[in-house]
Amino acid sequence: MNLILNRSIRIWFLTLLMALTNSPGIFAEKGTDLPLTLVLAELSPAEGKRADVLKWLAGVLPETRAYDGCKSLSVYQEMDSNKIILVEHWETKEKFIAYRDWRVETGSLAALAEILDSDPIFRFSLDTKI
């Protein structure tokens, strides 16, 4: 229970930190009030496969960052676990889903799945502007 709570707190804190830093690209276009979709992706590398997951990410993320709707993407390694967290800003959830579907069609996600110990977890959020 403590481990689940600690992970939730870390993800919440990371989300709060991103919002408070006023990172460029928080809004879909300068001068509009359309919030971007925050996507938190949690990857759990299989035992001894963390370096392979990071290598896979290094190979595919340039295409991800150039994909229609992706505004920013950062990769983090959790300090107390083997998990890798992707913090992404997309114009809309639908554009992220289109991107994810494209990765499935190309077989790219199948290659990633072989080096993970569980399916990726995706969380979607919108800025509340509070």
Q: Where do the domains of the chain lie?
A: 2-126
Provide the pLDDT confidence category of residue 125 given band limits of 50, 70 and 90.
Answer: very high
> Considering the entire predicted model, what is its pTM?
0.73
Query: What pLDDT, in 10s, does the model give residues 28-81?
Result: 444 456 789 999 999 999 999 999 999 999 999 999 999 999 999 999 999 999
- Are the CB atoms for 42 and 121 separated by under 8 Å? yes
Whether the per-residue pLDDT at 114 is higher than 80: the answer is yes
More confident residue, 55 or 128: 55
> Cα(32)–Cα(51) distance, rounded to whole angstroms?
40
What gap in Å lies between CA 50 and CA 117, rounded to an integer?
Answer: 11
For the domain 2-126, what is the CATH code? Answer: 3.30.70.100
Interatomic CA distance for residues 22 and 20, integer angstroms: 5
